[in-house]
């Protein structure tokens, strides 16, 4: 790869351990915006530091999953090191690489995926001289603490980086807020700190995120979720008359027995999916609950005369799924129910005009204006109110606008998918 001269912040992250006044820190934390150049300079700095200070030692380089780590960090790092004259012998099957500098010192770097099953057990018992935790806020605390506890060699150091999450997140509270107590150097990155980020790509990221995700991923702030979940929803931008004919159709369902059921019919026109019409049944309000067969009849009525082949549904709606499958008319897709990832993708779809709501969908429009975060919760949690159409829309977006189908989502989904 072609390097641009490192920014000031990147140079610090790369060389802090050798700089007067900074060399006495036990740890370094780089947080901030996405694509701000943290991983590149930290991973290189980590190997340079290890090679300058140790020989025959072991280190751990950890990502959220081993797959993500290989793609985002190990491959570009080894390529860069080789171009700088390092000898890197990677043992892929054993997840480590021996890296030596000019035939002199040699150290071993083990690779871990913090979220991979059994990773805490694998790292347990190792003696390490340093650990680099890439995207630390996305790893289980137990793994991170285990990795830290392994660094018992004199002179060992901890290298952390992450994007911001909720300010109640343990890493923020335990490390960023207590950086002085932990003797950690704290470097906050913004997109300005990446000299390779073109203004065009940067604008794309700025358009992609909104609300709390904009604050976190573009501005790099540890912002609390609050207010509306979808502040980017507006009638002017997100509600519009659908075309008469679409090229593809599907239905998404959030199923409730006591709580409302919300089914939406979607039609694709070019790159845009329109929510054409919906079925929203509130048993409590109506004073009468409906059977699965009754809901199924409404599902068929919603499909009416358009060729709907699949129904994307709440994976926990076992009896309704069984009912739809029994009839054999629609293929059932069990939805991906990761809430925060789903909200993020719906936000992006709304902001970019990938989904448009027909004015007929009154309950969806109502819920968009009411669906809010639970500010009392210790994390990113939407209130369980006015969330039925919101859930079926999330299921739809997670299934139909997934990363694999759209380059648009690749950048943001990359972070959270594994
Ligand atoms: N000095 C540089 N020269 C060339 N390319 C760079 C430079 N700094 C960063 N990049 C490139 O910019 C992109 C983003 O950098 P990097 O992955 O380090 O950012 P990040 O802050 O870790 O992002 P994220 O928060 O999304 O993980 C990468 O493709 C990286 O190779
Ligand atoms: Mg990174």
Query: Bridge-partner residues for 88, per DSSP?
Result: 99
- Count of C-beta atoms within a 10 Å radius of residue 49: 23
First to last CA, the chain: 25
Ligand 1 site residues (CB inside 6 A) read 3-4, 6, 10, 34-40, 163, 189, 194-196, 415
| 43 alpha carbon – ligand 2 mean position (Å) | 10
Domains and CATH numbers, the chain: 17-196 (3.40.50.300), 235-413 (3.30.420.280)
Q: Return d(Cα 367, Cα 357) in angstroms, integer.
A: 12
Nearest atom in ligand 1 to the alpha carbon of residue 72 is: 17
* 331 phi and psi angles, rounded to 5 deg: -85, 135
* Closest residue CA from atom 14 of ligand 1: 35
Q: Return d(Cα 101, Cα 95) in angstroms, integer.
A: 20
The length of the chain, given as a count of residues? 418
Nearest atom in ligand 1 to the alpha carbon of residue 5 is: 1
**Buried/exposed code over 222-260 (b: 16+ C-beta within 10 A; e: otherwise):** bbebeebbbebbeeeebbeebeeebeebbbbbbbbeeeb
CA dihedral 334, 339, 344, 349 (to 10 degrees): 40
- What residues contact 199, with CB distance under 8 A and at least 6 apart? none
The sheet carrying 355-357 orders its strands as: 331-334, 310-313, 248-254, 261-269, 272-281, 355-357
| 32 alpha carbon – ligand 1 mean position (Å) | 12
* Closest residue CA from atom 31 of ligand 1: 40
Tell me the pLDDT of the chain (418 aa) as tens digits: 788 999 999 999 999 999 999 999 999 999 999 999 999 999 999 999 999 999 999 999 999 999 999 999 999 999 999 999 999 999 999 999 999 987 789 999 999 999 888 888 899 989 999 999 999 999 999 999 999 999 999 999 999 999 999 999 999 999 999 999 999 999 999 999 999 999 999 998 888 888 899 999 999 999 999 999 999 999 999 999 999 999 999 999 999 988 999 999 999 999 999 999 999 999 999 999 999 999 999 999 999 989 998 999 999 999 999 999 999 999 999 999 999 999 999 999 999 899 999 999 999 999 999 999 999 888 899 999 999 999 999 999 999 997 544 444 444 444 443 3
* 48 phi and psi angles, rounded to 5 deg: -65, -45
Nearest atom in ligand 1 to the alpha carbon of residue 217 is: 25
* Closest residue CA from atom 9 of ligand 1: 37
């Amino acid at each position: 790869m072609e390097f641009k001269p490192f920014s000031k912040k990147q140079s610090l992250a790369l060389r802090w351990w050798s700089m007067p006044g900074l060399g006495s820190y036990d740890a370094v934390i780089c947080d901030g915006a996405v694509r701000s150049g943290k991983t590149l300079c930290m991973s290189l700095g980590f190997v340079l530091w290890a090679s300058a200070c140790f020989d025959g030692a072991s280190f751990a380089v950890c990502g959220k999953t081993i797959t993500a780590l290989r793609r985002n960090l190990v491959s570009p790092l080894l390529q860069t090191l080789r171009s700088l004259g390092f000898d890197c012998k990677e043992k892929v099957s054993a997840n480590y690489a021996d890296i030596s500098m000019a035939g002199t010192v040699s150290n071993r770097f083990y690779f871990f995926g913090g979220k991979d099953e059994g990773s805490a057990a694998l790292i347990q018992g190792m003696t390490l001289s340093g650990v680099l935790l890439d995207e630390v806020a996305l790893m289980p605390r137990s793994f991170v603490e285990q990795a830290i506890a392994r660094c018992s060699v004199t002179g060992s150091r901890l290298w952390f980086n992450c994007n911001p999450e909720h300010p109640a997140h343990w890493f923020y509270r335990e490390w960023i807020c207590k950086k002085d107590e932990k003797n950690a150097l704290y470097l906050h990155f913004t997109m300005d700190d990446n000299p390779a980020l073109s203004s065009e790509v940067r604008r794309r990221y700025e358009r992609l995120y909104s609300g709390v995700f904009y604050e976190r991923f573009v501005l790099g702030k540890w912002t609390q979720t609050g207010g509306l979940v979808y502040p980017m929803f507006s009638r002017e931008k997100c509600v519009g008359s659908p075309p008469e004919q679409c090229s593809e159709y599907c239905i998404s369902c959030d199923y409730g027995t006591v709580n409302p059921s919300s089914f939406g019919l979607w039609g694709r026109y070019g790159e845009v999916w329109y929510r054409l019409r919906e079925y929203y049944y509130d048993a409590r309000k109506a004073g009468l609950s409906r059977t699965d067969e009754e809901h199924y009849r409404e599902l068929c009525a919603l499909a009416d005369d358009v060729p709907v082949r699949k129904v994307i549904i709440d994976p926990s709606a076992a009896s309704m799924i069984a009912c739809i499958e029994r009839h054999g008319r629609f293929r059932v897709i069990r939805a991906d129910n990761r809430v925060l990832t789903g909200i993020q993708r719906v936000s992006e779809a709304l902001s970019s005009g990938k989904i448009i709501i027909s004015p007929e969908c009154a309950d969806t429009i109502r819920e968009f204006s009411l669906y809010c975060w639970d500010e009392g919760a210790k994390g990113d949690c939407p209130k369980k109110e006015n969330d039925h159409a919101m859930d079926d829309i999330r299921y739809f977006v997670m299934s139909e606008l997934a990363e694999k189908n759209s380059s648009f989502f690749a950048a943001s989904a990359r972070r959270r998918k594994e």
